[in-house]
Structure 1
Amino acid sequence: MLRPQGAASKKVSVPPALKSSRGVKSWKEAAAWLRARGIEDIECITPDLAGVARGKMMPSSKFTSNTSLALPSALYRHTISGDYPDETESFRYEARDSDLKLEPDLSTLSVVPWETDPTAQVICDVVDTDGESVPYAPRNVLKNIVALYAERGWKPVVAPEIEFYLVAMNDDPDYPLRPPKGRSGRSILGGQSYSIAGINEFDELIDDIYHFSEKQGLEIDTLIHEEGPAQLEINLRHGDPVALADQVFLFKRTIREAALKHGIYATFMAKPMQRQPGSAMHIHQSVIDEATGKNIFSNADGTPSQEFFHFIGGMQKYVPSSLVMLAPYVNSYRRLTPDMACPVNNAWGYDNRTTAFRVPLSDPQARRVENRLPSSDANPYLALASSLAAGYLGIKKEIEPTEPTAETANEGSIDLPRGLLEAVALLEGEPDFLEVFGKEFIGIYAGVKRGEFETFMQVISPWEREFLLLNV
């Protein structure tokens, strides 16, 4: 239809909340956001100790009608296999197994792009029936560490890098995993580090990862092919630790769903295949003075500050004792071997990838410390909390680091726990962790990890059948 001559065009103002792909500020905006997208169902999710999404689904009409959401406290006391460990002096079940409440964080509201029906998701915080924050819920553990920095007028900034493998579907755990076939019809082999051709083997899958991420308001900085066969790495843009942990939490779901759409698996196991590199979740860290916006790791003249060195000193002292939060499973310690491009030390150095704590080359405002020890199977909230807590304690206690390592640091002895039980004992044995993590969290986490180890010990491995069956 032709507009009458001289008639003014009428602009319709669209509220910013309706344009946003991620997050709203109020329940009123949430209702409008859901209506605008025709959302039928809401997934109210929260990470458990393993970083697995737990929660409830409900119709969107109930979500906006002040419905109370609750989960049992036992949710945080079961192992990755769903077992419930025996009680010990420090690991106890809540006597009544009473409810914990889910409080939706509306800043995380986004669509679930792989669902066929219009569905949204929101990450929830966990509180008790009195509305108090539950100290052992992983998102709260990280928030508590960030709050320690805030008390000093600081804001930590992080940038995770997450490695993962694409593998052929495998419905029998007795058989080893193998790389999937790409668009060429052949299984991709190793030696594809930074290969564009390696990425192009899975270009339709990667397009879906980008598409799903954009729909959720998740920002991918770069994507590369890593050293292992069909091993990829996604780098996220730096930002607030809780927001970045949320992104990693959602990225893992997103990548798995995109892979399933193409008939393959995406796995974040630390060491999914023998004789292949493991998958890491490297964490870049810096600290900003909130009043000035300046990086406290650099002095006014651009030289490294005392806080920078003390942060590194704290990493060296405390990360080995909190390694179980960075390498949380028996399989995680298969990655920590010196011949697989993974640090097995607590050394630091400038642009030295053989050290646990690498300082990349940068200008003074971007000075940061990269923790190269975490594996990609780690709960992102707990991995970030562990790493930042170590740096915080280092600054607070003015811990001096060793001299930087200029040579290869992965030769000689291994300076880290070699297995899960040793790592659990170190976590429990560090008295300074009571200050940053609390007694209740340490007891629950250690109890669950011991329970997982006992479950693992019930399984007879192929190595045992091969070498012990007829020889001993």
Structure 2
Amino acid sequence: MADWMDKLPDSAVKYLKGNRPDEVECIISDLSGIARGKAMPASKYATQKQFYLPNSIFFQTITGGWGEAAGEEGFTEPDMVLSPDMTTATAAPWTADWTLQVIHDAFTKSGEAVSFAPRNVLKRVVDLYLARGWKPIVAPEMEFYLVARNTDPGQEIRAMVGRSGRPAAARQAYSISAVDEFGPVIDDIYDFAEAQGFEIDGITQEGGAGQLEINLRHGSPVRLADEVFYFKRLIREAALRHECFATFMAKPIQTEPGSAMHIHHSVISTETGENIFSDKDGNETPEFMHFIGGLQRYIPAATPLFAPYVNSFRRYVKDNAAPINLEWARDNRTTAIRVPVSGAQARRVENRLPGMDCNPYLGIAASLACGYLGMVEGIEPKEEYKGDAYDAEEEIPRGIFDAFDKFSEAKPFREVLGEEFCRVYEIVKLTEYEEFLQVISPWEREHLLLNV
């Protein structure tokens, strides 16, 4: 590792401005998308040949509990070997010193990729595409809320009050004035993103009070998942500078729409470099239709990855900017699967099911897995939906148990993601739900205490 500084991306070199870094954060995503790892002085990082973390980080629930997912060997917490991907080295510009973050990949001590590490799951799916001469391209859209500081879980979450002092002023979708309400926070988001070498395609005001959307430039699925992983921390840190919170909950405020991570997909031929969703005359190809068909067939099984918490299902509300169906259509935002307006080379498919609370590696992996199976199996989609798809039949699972029933039955989908990952994920997420069921909610106290 002595020459590790020579491998830094240009953005990290530019950020350091000739300074030596003081600290390096070795990080990896757990199943929930939380950054786990260790921080160390840069001088020590330079002398390390390997880094270690126990594999139990992938068995931990969002509450800090543990799923019994260790397998036959029992809960012995063996170490994994962490290997740095120096292409991901980037600044942590909110710190007081010169700090870099580096995403690591997880391997067993015998050198095999840890099958339930989310970044490895996404790499597995991408490799299946590449083996067939296909290169997947994605572009995620990130929706989130800026909310007032909330230190008491018993209190409702409220939208951040902007410079006008009126929360409702920030509820006007696509309003530039609404974006200006949060100018200082957005300025820091831009500054942090520039320091980290990330390119923002645009920021817009969404339909909720204090709800914003950031669009990222299309590119490699692993690179874009890394960026979303980094962006969540970046945005939280920018908000904290201005006495507010950024939340990526799917449905943080009862009266406001939820937050999604819409994913746009296209597929490039590795042989020709052309978009396989369009033929030489610019027409839609069978692969394009089969990709849509795969989403329609396998989205129910993928729902636990798109909607990983009980709160996630509160986002799927009729007439409230989230799909409740499996319909597809061109330029129709009421369908789960949308084909945006574009030229032939930019032809793509948008999956509107994933919530912003999903792990970006797993959400993108699951969405690509659905499309991959559609193309491999030659799945034909239903007829294009005409009109308001909120009037269509509800086809998505409506709760955790229903979703995991679909997940457990979909053998082709599980094979694409890896059976061992699916086993671990199911155990951990159902453990989380069991933890949730132990909590008595304010609704229960209000309506049941004296009435039943």
Give TM class, smaller chain.
Answer: over 0.9
Where do residues 268-287 of structure 1 align in structure 2 (5 Å cutoff)?
A: 268-287=248-267
1:160 partnered with 2:140: yes
Quick one: structure 1 residues 349 and 23, their matched pair in 2 at CA, closer, same or farther if it must change by over 3 Å? farther
Is the 8 Å Cα contact of residues 44 and 122 (structure 1) preserved in structure 2? yes
Matches of 1:35 and 1:424, distance apart in 2: 49
Q: Structure 1 CA distance, aligned partners of 2:280 and 2:135?
A: 18
Among candidates 363, 374, 379, match of residue 343 of structure 2 = 363
TM-score (norm 1): 0.92
Offset from partner CA, 1:112-160 (integer Å, 9 cap, x none): 1000011111011111111211111000000000000100111100000
Contact 1:91 1:447 (C-alpha < 8 Å) held by counterparts: no
Corresponding residue of 1:172? 152
What corresponds to 2:119 in structure 1? 139
The 5 Å alignment of 1:217-366 reads 217-366=197-346
The worse-fitting range, judged by mean Cα deviation, of 377-386 and 57-66 is 57-66
Deviations 1:149-188 (A, max 9, x none): 1001111000000000000001100110111121223334
After TM superposition, the score normalised by the length of structure 2 is 0.96
Change (3 A) 1:257 1:359: same
Structure 2 CA distance for partners of 1:377 and 1:92, relative to 1, 3 Å: farther
Q: Which residue of 2 aligns with 1:4?
A: none
Aligned residues: 448
Map residues 378-389 of structure 1 onto 2, 5 A cutoff. Answer: 378-389=358-369
Q: Distance in 1 between matches of 2:171 and 2:59?
A: 41
Aligned residue for 1:184?
164
Q: CA deviation at 1:470?
A: 1.1
**Deviation digits for residues 262-300 of structure 1 (CA, Å, limit 9, x no counterpart):** 110000000000121000000000000012110000111
The question of whether the paired residues in 1 share the 8 Å contact of 2:259 and 2:355 is answered with yes
Q: Which of residues 397, 405, 411 is equivalent to 1:425?
A: 405
Q: Which of these residues, 67, 70, 73, is aligned with residue 85 of structure 1?
A: 67
Amino acid in structure 1 at the alignment position of 2:126: V
CA 263–190 in structure 1, closer or farther in 2 if over 3 Å, else same: closer
- Runs of at least 5 residues in structure 1 that lack an aligned partner in the other structure: 1-14, 25-32
Residue 415 of structure 1 aligns with an amino acid whose one-letter code is E
- Structure 2 gap ranges (5+): none
Q: Which amino acid aligns with 2:61?
A: T
1:71 paired residue among 7, 32, 53: 53
Matched, 1:41 2:31: no
| Residue of structure 1 aligned with 2:128, choices 137, 142, 148 | 148
Which residue does the alignment assign to 1:27? none
Q: What amino acid maps onto 2:58 in structure 1?
A: Y
Work out the CA distance in 1 between the residues paired with 2:272 and 2:168.
Answer: 49
Q: Which has the larger radius of gyration?
A: 1
Shift of 1:435: 2.0
Contact map agreement 1:180 1:188 (CA 8 A) in 2: no
| CA–CA distance in structure 2, aligned partners of residues 86 and 307 of structure 1 | 40
| Distance apart, 1:409 and its partner CA | 1.1
Match of 1:54 in 2: 36
**Distance of 1:92 and 1:415 partners within structure 2:** 37
**Counterpart Cα distance in 2 of 1:92 and 1:186:** 57
- The one of 349, 356, 376 equivalent to 1:376 is 356
> What is the SS of the residue equivalent to 2:172?
coil
Indicate the residue corresponding to 2:11 in structure 1: 21
TM-superposed deviation, 1:37: 2.7
- CA–CA separation in structure 1 for the residues paired with 2:341 and 2:66: 46
Contact 2:7 2:87 survives alignment (8 Å): no
Task: For residues 83-115 of structure 1, give each alpha carbon's deviation from its aligned partner in whole angstroms, at most 9, with x where no partner exists.
Answer: 01346xx96675532101111100011111000
How far apart, CA to CA, are the structure 2 residues paired with 1:348 and 1:450?
30
Change (3 A) 1:91 1:462: farther
CA distance 1:131–1:313, shift in 2 (3 Å): same
| Residues 23, 42 of structure 2: 8 Å contact kept | yes
Is 1:165–1:231's contact at 8 Å kept on the other side of the alignment? yes
Q: Structure 1: which 4+ aligned runs deviate by more than 2 Å?
A: 15-19, 33-38, 90-96, 184-191
